[in-house]
A and B are shown apart, each in its own frame.
Chain A
Amino acid sequence: DIQVTQSPSALSASVGDRVTITCRASQSISSWLAWYQQKPGKAPKLLIYKASSLAGGVPSTFSGSGSGTEFTLTISSLQPEDFATYYCQQYHTLWTFGQGTKVEIK
């Protein structure tokens, strides 16, 4: 089974900050990684697919990078609506989600 490990599990940041979340896969998954945003009581929303492709309607303040086993999600300038929990997902072999990163207001 492919495991994915996110870090950190939580972070505090201010509006306007640059935020980076990391996802590591237990083996190479090429670029088959997605990122989702989830707000309380809501279903997740796709942000990034194939490691760096922005999903439709997602602001350009979000970006993804990486390949193989190391990936990052970057929010270049944190907005009030970006406070949420973020999950990575590998889809190279079956599907696996990371443990989530909660982005909180500092």
Chain B
Amino acid sequence: QITLKESGPTLVKPTETLTLTCTFSGFSLSTSGLGVGWIRQPPGKALEWLALIYWDDDKRYSPSLKNRLTITKDTSNSQVVLTMTNMDPADTATYYCGHKGARGVIGYWGQGTLVTVSS
């Protein structure tokens, strides 16, 4: 059974750096073909893909946000960490992590965590 759960601060100040952790179970990120991605959703708005890390440590970022994002994995602890620098109120959103399976899509999602950016 695959599960994922996001954790991190619920409130950050403008200009601060956000660090979110995705803790997962039911699969290993050392398995060929697998990956973990981050997606966010501002209140009432659409989904936006942020970053993706593969089993072989290859990393991909949204072109519009790549200068602010870093994704890393800790395979032994079954965690993926996303950092986003220079947070702005426009970054207020629910942040999801998801399991990218061999089919290439997100078959399993975490429950999401709401991050508010405000002074």
Contacts and interface: CB of A to CB of B under 8 A. Distances in A.
Given A95-B49, A98-B46, A89 B105 contact: yes
Given A46-B105, A49-B103, A50-B103, A97 B62 contact: no
Residues of B in contact with A, size category: 20 to 34
B47 interface: yes
Contacts of B104: 32, 49-50, 91
B49 A87 contact: no
Interface residues of A, number: 23
A87 B109 contact: no
Contacts, number: 53
A78 B21 CA distance: 38
Contacts of B49: 89, 94-97
Nearest to A32: B104
B52 interface: yes
Given A94-B62, A95-B37, A95-B52, A100 B47 contact: yes
A65 interface: no
Nearest to A95: B49
Contacts of B63: 1, 94
B5 to A, nearest CB: 11
Interface in A38-82: 38, 43-46, 49-50, 53, 55
Interface string A88-105: 010100111111100000
Contacts of B106: 34, 36, 44, 46, 89
Nearest to A97: B47
B56 interface: no
Contacts of A91: 104-105
Contacts of A44: 47, 96, 106, 109
B3 to A, nearest CB: 12
Contacts of A100: 46-47
B62 A43 contact: no
A91 B103 CA distance: 10
Interface of A: 1, 32, 34, 36, 38, 43-46, 49-50, 53, 55, 87, 89, 91, 94-100
